[in-house]
Amino acid sequence: MRIRVPATTANLGPGFDSCGLALTLYLTLDVMEEQAEWHIEHGLGAEIPADATNIIIQTALQLAPDIKPRRLVMESAIPPARGLGSSSAAVVAGIELAVALGGLSLTKEEKVEIAAEIEGHPDNVAPAILGNLAIGAKLEGEDFYVRHLFPNCSILAFIPKTELLTSESRAVLPQEIPFKEAVRASSIANVMIGALLQNDMVLAGKMIEKDRWHEKYRARLVPHLLEIRKIARENGAYATCLSGAGPTVLVFAPSDKTNKLKERLQTIDPDAAILELEVEGSGSEIFD
């Protein structure tokens, strides 16, 4: 049995803590034979637990405490601490593991509710479960969200070698912002959503780059953001934005601009990975 969960980008432009997109990078989990204790083979280093304290197993046992231990084999193309939803993918994998081994009958909506409760907000977990674009809010313990198709375009992910922990990136954000600034920030996000729903990447791209919620505070932690944005604009991209809390930067562009953009972006940091991705439309899946 195999479980597959896509990477996600959250905080899409001005959609802070509310807009997320599933991407074609995956965490896969092969469920193997029963054994005396839980063990997960992952090859990610000693800092990632290989026993029952691993977040995948912890999540599964939280939902189905009586499932018998197994040997698990995990492979993940989602780099940790890069703003591509690695922790959310692990939580979702744990939910799917509980469904697969515990005989749970959960709808996708129920999975989103559980995952959002664990993660605190739905912008990463909803697209990981539902696929595509997810716009959500968690209000007084209740989840509200909409899934929609994202406009057709190329997506480049500029992934530096250096990590940036979400806790560090959150620490630079203000505790509050002035009312007028919040109104401006909200109006920009509203126009972005409207443009995406109308399949208008030109207008959506303009709004993505006008975020007032988080990018200007995090820019000093991600010094390559402005340089990438400059190159992207000069080469016909629709928009650039931080992926999640960073340091990954996403570039949305017409497909015929992709090759030139990749060449130019590689000059910023030869050690960075630049991946050409697509929107992932299926969300988390279990394969027999």
Annotated binding site for ATP: 79-89
Cα distances (Å, whole numbers) of residue 191 to 171, 195, 208: 28, 6, 10
* Tokens 């280093």 -> residue: 45
Please tell me whether the peptide bond between 247 and the residue prior to it is cis, using omega within 30 degrees of 0: yes
Whole-angstrom distance, CA of residue 96 vs CA of residue 118: 14
Q: Give the number of other CB atoms < 10 A from CB of residue 13.
A: 27
DSSP at 53: T
Write the burial class of residue 66 (CB in 10 Å: 0-12 exposed, 13-18 middle, 19+ buried).
exposed
The string of DSSP letters for 69-104 reads: PEEEEEEE-S-TTSSS-HHHHHHHHHHHHHHHHH--
Mark the binding-site residues, compressed into ranges. Answer: 79-89
Backbone angles phi, psi at 143, to 5 degrees: -100, 135
The string of DSSP letters for 241-258 reads: EE-TTSS-EEEEE-GGGH
